Structure 1
Amino acid sequence: MSAITQSASVTRGYFSRIELHDSADARVFVARFGLEGYGLHQALWRLFVTDPGIQRDFLYRVIDDAERPAFYVVSARPPVANSRVWRVRSRDYKPCLRAGDRLAFSLRANPTVKRASAPGARSVRHDVVMDAHQRGMAPDPTGGLYDQPGLAWLTPRSAAAGFRVEKTRIDGYRRHQLYKRGGSPIVFSTLDFEGVLTVTEPTAFCRSLMSGLGPAKAFGCGLLLVRRV
């Protein structure tokens, strides 16, 4: 079978839009648990955890322009939510894709590179934008020019994830610092990628739709949103 006729689909999943109600119960929930920083991570985790030992099997993306806190979520199981707190709209997520399909995509990622501070030292993750800036390879990140480090991070990962980037716009660089009660701050950065891709390996690509790209998936990174063009 030639590559262009190969096809695959997600084994089974769910695509959900989850939005906080404008209700008294929702306000009590927010006052108790919070939806800022680490509280957001915990709030979404509660929609999927039925067994304390289960591993995270969902990805999410904050919808920036929503009137109330809202998220896109791709998950292996449907979310279970208090209907007085959350409005949940879920549907089966099983895109059937072929090699050669062109899709518009949106990705919020935590692009990092591992580097050791000295020979023999343990490698540590670094933000690719700041790393490139410090190595003299890119303009100051506050200038809004992230194409070089962003593409250097995305290109090899896209090949392994079963797609090729045709064009992309890279912006929205942000640094985040989340606080977990009794723990050290969680610090990471994000870049937003928007563009068009071509599916090259349908099986690998469908796997990526469910497993995501890059680190910090527990904090809203890695979900690849796609639509046909």
Structure 2
Amino acid sequence: MEITVQDLFKKMKKVPALKGLSMQFQDGLVHGIIGPEGAGKTTLMRHLMGLLKADQGRIQYFKDGVEQSFADVRRNLAYMPQTQSLYGELSIHEHLEFFKTLYGLEDSTYRERRQKLLAMTRLDRFEDRLASQLSGGMYKKLGLICSLLASPEVLFLDEPTNGVDPLSRRDFWKLLYEFREQENITILVTTSYMDEALKCEDVHLLFDGKTLLEGPPDKILRQEKCETFDEVFLRYDSSLEAQGEVL
């Protein structure tokens, strides 16, 4: 599924959060929405999931080149929010049972998906462990498989590796590509970790509610003559400060 965002504006409590943002997400890729804290990443994600309504602009969803209504695509979207969304008093098994009921999955479909997802995340040995007793990396994996249980076509992940140790972050990204290959889904990941931009197939740089650049990460670095994405953002931030001084 392809997604096009055009001239999105949104004020949150009278403060501009998105300022004419436009982005293009191609089908079947792992997309990284990269930006510092407060850039507007979560606000964009909530618009894409239909949780917020823009003050201006539009979001279009295309399947096989044909535009789809949001009502038609909504059931094929899955969202893993940045904030904790699991229940500490429920085990891994109980979470999967809960989401089975929530998604209305048939028993045969559920059993197949459950077995596959637990094996891929290596959580199959910990089904009885409570969510409150999971490590940070295991907790994120549980959130991921709950999102994938209903076989979505597009997966939105809002800062999924935030607060996770480097080893678990590496494992999480490896899992995303395994899911992308086996599930044939489009994945959108927001992150403020600049090094994670290089783990994506396409990156979309977001700063102060606006799009800076889009494209393959290596191509952007060559184009900007920078070695890291930290340099790209620092250059842009410096140019804004210079403009402010001139004004």
Higher strand share: 1
Q: Same fold (TM over 0.5)?
A: no
TM-score (norm 1): 0.25
